[in-house]
Structure 1
Amino acid sequence: MDKGAGNLVIHRISPRAGIEGGKVYVECTGFDTQNFSQSFLYFGDHPTRITVATPSYVIAPIPRQAQSGPVRMVVDGETSNPVYFEVGTRLATNLHPVCNPALDASGNIYVTLSGTRGQKVPVSIYRITPAGVVEPFVSDIINPSGLAFDRQGDLYVTSRYNGTVYRVSPSGKVTTFCTNLGVATGVAFDQEEHLYVGDRNGTIYRITREGICYPFATIEPSVAAFHLAFDQQGYLYVTSPTMCGYDPIYRLSPDGDVEIFFTDLGRPQGMAFDIEGNLYVVAYYQGQSGIIKISPTQEVEHVLSGLNLVGLALDGIGNMIVVDTASVYRLPLGIIGRPLP
């Protein structure tokens, strides 16, 4: 990176955050496409080769070693102006999340090592402290899937293997809460602390505090998992990824009436709301993979780029916690999550 910024100018990077492997779109001027073979995007000191180039924008992947900081274009020795980019910090790997991570009131992160169907792994749920220390938490749940905390600090865990919801105390003691829920995956609490569980065969169940279960609504089955999240008005949002590539987000009223909230998403998965009512969802949208923000008026913004993402959580101090099929990342994006119901 020999020369300072001259004719080569970066105007915008979209999105402004990502994890390794995700792609960024860089709007620029002063780029001569004839120099494509000598063109790189630098994340700090780590270069990545530009894969698509036009005079007005380029596309490049986020390199594995990338860290948060300035991004610059370098073309045949000329260096652009720097633009800040947030890269997720990996907190843990060698995991297997299939739904959102969960956060307790102390800021600890809980994530699964779900395993293949019927596989009993040595540790099925890990706890990651705010300092980034990874601790075994639960060892005797097969295929743990969805995670959600109640107001008392107990963690509720679904098993896609046996259709059971387990209740886990803060000390890690496991008890059975409800059974016979099909392929139980996503889970969420409403304001009255009824627990909702998605059976990916097509049924959403509502479970009372006493563990009594009722069918609540029916939607299209999923090839993967149902993912659930409540808004501030008590509506339940559900994603149900299929193989068609144009999947909706369903919105269910407190009475169980089903409508489509948003559509044309590719494999939408985990969701979370911020305190302003914006919905964040893992999905492919308009050819880009990662996390998009959907406002209450359905304005859409691509906020994070990444591959093989599964879920997310938003804490109360501005961090977004993101999980892919093997790892957990943290990004300080200044987005405040909606508190527990």
Structure 2
Amino acid sequence: MAILRKQPLIFLFIATVLLFTACGQNQSTPTPTGSTAVPPTRTEPTPTLANGANSTAVPPTDTPPTAQPEATATQTAVPTEPRPTPESTIELPGATVPPGFSFIKFADIYRPTGLAFDAAGRLYVTSFDGTVHILQDENGDGRSDRDTTFATGFSTALGITLRPGTNDVYVSSTGQITLLRDDNGDDVADTRDLFVSGLPNGLHQNDNLQFGLDGWLYMGVGSTCDTCTEADSRSASIMRFNVDTGESEVIAHGLRNPYDIAFYPGTSDLFATDNGRDDLGLDSPFEELNQIIVGGDYGWPNCWNEDEGSDCAGTETAVAFFAPHSSANGLDFYSGSQFPAEYQNNAFVAIFGTFLTDGVYTGVARVQLTPDGDSYQSTVSWFAQWPDGRPLPLIVGPDGALYVGDYINSVIYRISYGP
């Protein structure tokens, strides 16, 4: 388990109070706050924070040397050619990514909040003004050439996904989930059906959503308050929905604002980002990446960090921590083939930061997860940063590039390996 927090030169975070996902989403002025089985039920304790609360990363585990065959007269050592680092393009002055990676603008979109690709490789985007866009790169140059308005009129749309094998588009907006269909293929929604309504909302609301390989639709639901006892058990939870029957259930609770969810590649292990309460000062609590266990209690509002607070018995501990109030939001796992092999199955997390203090360090965090029994150990580091960025949604595209929506600058960036 690891923490990404403020350090000189590289791991830079300012522990400040955030406005959008930690303090509230529903305000008049926009302020950002497989497998075919359900996620497993835990049978062993969750891992503990390595080296205490001031750890910056899990110390690497020493790997025993691999036994080598004895040399014979017929064996000749063949040197392995290192993979050359490709040339890269950094279009935004001051942006930093690892060597060989490119950072370019994919599209200008007003305050992007959610991203989803369809089977044709087109990018669906929800924006804070309630519009759903379809972006297309028609000539393969890594930039959007066409922006089509698919639907409008949503209130605080924070999530979008498509049902696999169909063109059914599900949008998460204040208190509801809406199903959109394009019946005549003109890239404009023709039918608009309310799938779920009456979800609790207040300080936060229902967030991003994702289909599992079991066919159910999973979604995070934020709390209606900073710290309170919720009247509705669906608040501060992870829910899932059967889109054929309408059945729904809460599978985990105690999550103040689980902005995004994603499945670890090739498994039914569900993960969610979460942003903690605001009333404990600038140094606590840490933001979190959690493995979601069916029936799990993640502690909010009484328990935070590593068993701090009260009533922590039986609560789940995060698999990775981020700086207090830094607002961990968009989440996806890398399962493409474009990035170097060491990025396979890594999680990328959008760190939004806060508007309250100058000099706030934000960007995209990389979380290297190592399976450990029925849980995971983690190492956290920066992957990408850029001046004055406010990354909110992110997604790995079918081309293997990482797409990141910068909320405050109204831009979607594309991060790829090579030009």
TM-score, L = length of structure 1: 0.65
Q: 1:134 aligns with which of 147, 160, 168?
A: 147
> Could you tell me the percent identity over the aligned residues?
19
State whether structure 2 residue 383 is matched by structure 1 residue 303: yes
Write out per-residue CA displacement over residues 136-179 of structure 1, whole angstroms, 9 at most, x where no aligned residue: 0012322211111111231111112xx11111124423211112
Q: 2:159 aligns with which of 137, 146, 161?
A: 146
Mapped partners of 1:226, 1:86: distance in 2: 27
| Contact 1:272 1:281 (C-alpha < 8 Å) held by counterparts | yes
Letter in 1 for 2:321: T
Aligned to 2:17: none
Mapped partners of 1:159, 1:125: distance in 2: 11
Displacement after TM superposition at 1:85 (Å): 5.9
Displacement after TM superposition at 1:254 (Å): 4.7
| Contact 2:260 2:330 (C-alpha < 8 Å) held by counterparts | yes
SS at match of 1:191: coil
State whether structure 2 residue 192 is matched by structure 1 residue 174: yes
SS at match of 2:290: strand
Displacement after TM superposition at 1:228 (Å): 1.1
Write out per-residue CA displacement over residues 21-76 of structure 1, whole angstroms, 9 at most, x where no aligned residue: xxxxxxxxxxxxxxxxxxxxxx999996xxxxxxxxxxxx349xxxx9xxxxxxxx
Aligned to 1:277: 345
Mapped partners of 2:289, 2:212: distance in 1: 18
Letter in 2 for 1:189: F
Letter in 2 for 1:153: N
Letter in 2 for 1:174: R
State whether structure 2 residue 290 is matched by structure 1 residue 250: yes
Q: 1:235 aligns with which of 269, 272, 276?
A: 269
- What is the number of residues matched between the two proteins? 252
Letter in 2 for 1:137: F
Letter in 2 for 1:165: I
Q: 2:415 aligns with which of 308, 312, 331?
A: 331
Q: 1:321 aligns with which of 403, 414, 418?
A: 403
| Contact 1:101 1:311 (C-alpha < 8 Å) held by counterparts | yes
Displacement after TM superposition at 1:90 (Å): 3.8
- Name the CA shift for 1:233/1:47 in 2 (closer, same or farther; >3 Å): closer
Aligned to 2:327: 267
- Name the CA shift for 1:44/1:134 in 2 (closer, same or farther; >3 Å): closer
| Contact 1:238 1:251 (C-alpha < 8 Å) held by counterparts | yes
Displacement after TM superposition at 1:240 (Å): 1.9
Mapped partners of 1:45, 1:102: distance in 2: 24
Write out per-residue CA displacement over residues 231-277 of structure 1, whole angstroms, 9 at most, x where no aligned residue: 13212211122444621111112555653111134211100011232
State whether structure 2 residue 130 is matched by structure 1 residue 96: no
TM-score, L = length of structure 2: 0.54
Aligned to 2:237: 203
C-alpha RMSD of matched pairs (Å): 3.2
Mapped partners of 2:295, 2:116: distance in 1: 26
- Name the CA shift for 1:114/1:262 in 2 (closer, same or farther; >3 Å): same
Write out per-residue CA displacement over residues 288-334 of structure 1, whole angstroms, 9 at most, x where no aligned residue: 42112212222334221131110111112221111011221222237
SS at match of 2:119: coil
Which consecutive unaligned segments of at least 5 residues does structure 2 have?
Answer: 1-8, 12-87, 139-143, 184-188, 224-235, 279-283, 299-315, 336-343, 354-359, 371-377
- Name the CA shift for 1:89/1:264 in 2 (closer, same or farther; >3 Å): closer
By relative contact order (CA 8 Å, sep 6+), the higher-ranking structure is 2
Write out per-residue CA displacement over residues 70-113 of structure 1, whole angstroms, 9 at most, x where no aligned residue: xxxxxxxxxxxxx76622224123x1223x31111111111122
Mapped partners of 2:118, 2:411: distance in 1: 19
